[in-house]
A and B are shown apart, each in its own frame.
Chain A
Amino acid sequence: MRVYVNDEVIEVFGASLADLITYLDLPSARIAVELNREVVRRNDWSGTMLHEDDRVEIVHFVGGGAG
C-alpha cells in the first residue's frame, strides 16, 4: 500500500502512524504529524491506521528567524 510522506512515496502494510514513525526512525519527541492536512495528536498515532494514498506531513524545528 502506498502513502506519501512529505511528498515521498513509502510502501506500508497494515501500519499505523506510530508504526510509520518507528519505521522512519524519527525522534518522536520533537515532531508533529499531519494526516491529510489535519494534525494528529501524539496520543492518537498508534490508533490511526494508514490508508492507500494517504498524505502524511511530518515536521520538526530548524533554525530560523523570519522569511
Chain B
Amino acid sequence: MSSAVTAVSQQEKLIVAGHVFSSRLIIGTGKYRSYEEMRSAHDASGAEMVTVAVRRVPIDRSSESFLDYLNPSLQILPNTAGCYTAEDAVRTARLAREALQTDLVKLEVIGDQTTLFPDNEQTLEAARVLVKEGFVVLPYFSDDLIMAKKLLDAGCAAIMPLAAPIGSGLGVQNPANLRIMREQLPDATIIVDAGVGTASDAAIAMELGADGVLMNTAIAEAQDPANMATAMKLAIQAGRLAYVAGRMPKRLYASASSPLAGVIK
C-alpha cells in the first residue's frame, strides 16, 4: 500500500459516537454460502464492524450460536431488519442491546416488501424513542436531505442513505442527492447503505463524500467473496483518497497537458 493511502487512513478514522474505526467499510453477515466463506470475506475486507439480524430462536433445540462464527475482534452492529413498524424496531433494538450489551443499532423500518424502501416516517419515530433511551442510532433511510436533517436533529449518530434498493447491486443511482447531502451537511457522518454491486460503486460513493459504505450482497453473492471483499476495501480507500484530494473540474472540451509553445514546424 502506498504511503499516501496509509497517511490518509491513519489521519482519518471513521468515528461514530466515540467508536473509532480505521476501516470505512461496514459489512453484513447474510447470504454467504457457508460460515467459513463469510469469515474469510470478513477477514479480507478489513472491516471492523459487521451487522447482524435479530430473529426468534427456534425452540426445537436446533439453534446454534451464529455469533460464534464471527471474528471476535469485530464490533457487532445489530440491525432491525425485517421490521415494518417503529414499535417493532424499538422492541428489536431493546432485545439486541440486552443480548449484546452494545448501544449501537442500525435502525431499519421497511415500508414495502418489493422495494425494501424505508418507511422514513416510522424510522424517524423509532429514532426519537431510541435516542432518548441512550442508543447510538444509525438509521437506513431514503436519500432525502430534509429527512436527513430530521434524523440528525433527533440525535442520530450517523445517517445511512440508500444508493439503490437493498440487494439490487444497481450501484449509486442517486449521485446528485448524495452530493447535495454531503454539501449541505458537512459535519454529518454519512454512511451509504445498500445498492453497491461492485468495487467501482463503492469508490463512487466515497468520491461523492460518504464517510463510509455498508454492504452485504455485493460481497456475499460474488463468485469469490473474499476477493470481492479485498476489492471493496481498496475501492473505499481509493474513493476516499480521491475525495480528500479533490477532483479536477469537468470540462466539455479538451485541455492540452503539453505546452503549446515550441512545437516543431
Contact = CB atoms under 8 A, between A and B. Distances in A.
Contacts of B27: 65
Contact of B65 (A24, A42, A60): A60
Interface in B202-242: 214-217, 220
Contact of B167 (A57, A62, A66): A66
Contact of A32 (B52, B66, B99): B99
Interface residues of A, number: 29
Interface in B30-50: 30-32, 38
A59 B67 contact: no
Given A34-B95, A65-B27, A59 B57 contact: yes
B110 A63 contact: no
A31 B81 CA distance: 17
B143 interface: no
A31 B57 contact: yes
A66 B95 contact: no
Interface string A47-67: 000000000011111111111
Given A30-B67, A60-B66, A60-B99, A67 B82 contact: yes
B215 A65 contact: yes
Nearest to B108: A66
B54 A59 contact: yes
Given A26-B57, A30-B99, A32-B98, A65 B30 contact: yes
A6 interface: yes
B209 to A, nearest CB: 22
B193 interface: yes
A25 B38 CA distance: 27
